[in-house]
Amino acid sequence: MTVQWTPKPDLPPPPLDTGFAGWLKKNLFSSFWNGLLTVAGLLIILATVPPFLRWALINAAWVGDSREACIHLGEDGISGACWVFIKVRLGMFMYGFYPDAERWRVNLAMVLLALAALPILMPQAFEKLRTALGFALAGTIAVFVLFGPGPGAAAALLLVLPFGLPHVRLKAIFEKVDAQPSAGLAARAAALALAGGIVYAAARGFEGNALPGPLAGVFIALLLGLMLLDRAPAAAWQWVFLFTVYPFIAYVLLMGDAYGLAYVETHLWGGMFLTLVIAVIGIATSLPIGILLALGRRSTMPVTKTLCVCFIELIRGVPLISVLFMASIMLPLFLPEGAHFDKLLRALIGVSLFYAAYMAEVVRGGLQAIPRGQYEAAESLGCGYWRMMGLIILPQALRLVIPGIVNTFLGLFKDTTLVAVIGLMDMLGIVKTALADTEWLGFPKEAYVFAAAVFWVFCFGMSRYSMHLEKRFQVKRH
């Protein structure tokens, strides 16, 4: 007789192992010590977060524009944060002493930077020419509507041209001219002279200074290089524009004294704006210099190598604050009376060189991680030094050290606050002056919390972007 064996239905899992209770047991109370840690953590959160929220949100003063708005107590008799203080001072915190009527120039410079950098930062979103052109046009129109025709033209130059230029074949044009052998050289020279003349005329907008000549020279040199290059992809043009045209536009916009813009001295710059100026310039210059230093340090040429090693070790051996002090206190003593470097320029050079040294070591770490075989493979393909580095070694090395590079950038961004020791009014410096206002004495907590929040937003953004980059450049290794 066969007995049909029927298994009993499965028992449900123990109630403590499923659902929410199960999750709790597994993750928070898996052992006695883990349970203790959970309870302690909860207690710490309970002890700190509710009082902070009560101070920062519930009892806080949000409306009003004078100190009186803040002299009140919450319903439970505990006074809260006085955000009115921040609100009243926001203009100062963001722009420093930059004149009210001219602050649109700062905004425009930042908007242009954001628009010009966006396609570089997220190229995958701009792969289709149509999206890219649409973005460039929309950006140009937006700037035109918001800021007027002049800024609109600048935006067009910066945004549309990089997408248009790849479709112009300079070499092809000249090859046609070259068909008549005698005309070739003359045509090129004439084209260069014409372009230089246009730039020179445009630069005449600067009242009474020596800018037009050098500017036209730089432009001609740039064109000369481009003639040899023939076609470059849009991405390359974007980089070129970001590092040549944008700094020029930003300089004119922020400093003024040209094209009818009022002159704004750098000692009026301050607040978040100054912090961003130092951070952006520091980041944009320290990486290229750092890469060159790293290559120099690994070079086999004794002089180059010694120079790079000395520079890196010297700079890494002293704190940034002493570099800044040297730049602001010692340097002027060596210069004759009445001769001044701009204080901001001194600080910028200090910050850039300091972080270039750190960047060099980060990049060197990446270079060392590339196997010898890669160098040999490159050489066997007949690549010279710069091609080997630029096309094969550096792309791999830099990808490896993205976290290190971004780490250095974050350090740079936060270290910009050190310029306060040489009397520059960066974000933190301006916050400190606000604390001394006799009308608003006694709100240091609000000011520092605000400054910390602003810094956190920027640093967190950079850190997330670096993770995104790591994912994008991740290579599956089998």
Partner 1 sequence: MKGAKLIAVMAILVLAATAAHAGILENVKKAGEIKVGVSGKVPGFSVPDQNGVWSGMDVDFGRAVAAAVFNDPGKVKFVPVTTSERFTALQTGEIDILSRNTTWTFQRDAKQGIDFCGILFYDGQGFMVNKKLGVKSAKELDGASICIQIGTTTELNVSDYFAANKMSYKPVVFESADESTVMYDTGRCDVYTTDASGLAARRTTLSKPADHIILAEVISKEPLGPAVRHGDQQWGDIVRWTLFALINAEELGVTSENVDEMMKSTNPSIKRLLGVEDNLGEQMGLTSDWVYRIVKHVGNYGEIYDRNVGPDTPLGLERGPNALWTQGGLMYAPPVR
Contacts with partner 1 by CB under 8 A lie at 88-89, 91-92, 96-97, 100, 206, 209-211, 214, 255, 257, 265, 267, 325, 328-329, 332-333, 335-343, 345, 420-423, 425, 429, 432-439, 441-442, 444
Q: Please provide the DSSP assignment of 99-110 as one string.
A: -GGGHHHHHHHH
Question: Least distance to partner 1 from the beta carbon of 274, Å?
Answer: 12
Instruction: Name the residue nearer to partner 1 (CB basis): 383 or 449.
Output: 449
CB of 442 to partner 1, least distance (A): 3
Residue 104: which region, alpha, beta or left (left: phi > 0; alpha: psi -120 to 50)? alpha
Q: How far apart are CA 463 and CA 455, in angstroms?
A: 12
Stated length of the chain: 478
16 vs 441, beta carbon nearer partner 1: 441
Nearest Cα residue to 104 out of 95, 92, 96: 95
> Are 171 and 230 in contact, with CB atoms under 8 Å apart?
yes
Distance of CA 306 to the CA centre of its chain: 31
First to last CA, the chain: 58
- Residue number with CB closer to partner 1 (180 or 322): 322
Least distance in angstroms from the C-beta of 92 to partner 1: 6
Q: From the CB of 270, what's the least distance to partner 1, in Å?
A: 8
Residue 181 in tokens: 């052998």
Structural contact between residues 212 and 203, judged by C-beta atoms closer than 8 angstroms: yes
Check: CB of residue 195 under 8 Å from CB of residue 220. yes
Pick between residue 398 and residue 422 the one whose CB is nearest to partner 1: 422
Residue 276 DSSP SS3 = helix
Nearest approach, Cβ of residue 360 and partner 1 (Å): 25
Give me the least distance between CB of 370 and partner 1, in Å please. Answer: 38
Minimum CB distance to partner 1 smaller for 194 or for 335: 335
CA dist 330 and 151 (Å) reads 40
Cα distance between residue 183 and residue 313, in whole Å? 54
CA distance 351 to 357: 10
**Whole-number minimum distance, CB 267 to partner 1, in Å?**
6
Our CB check for partner 1 shows the closer of 83 and 409 to be 83
In terms of CB distance, is 117 or 222 closer to partner 1? Answer: 222
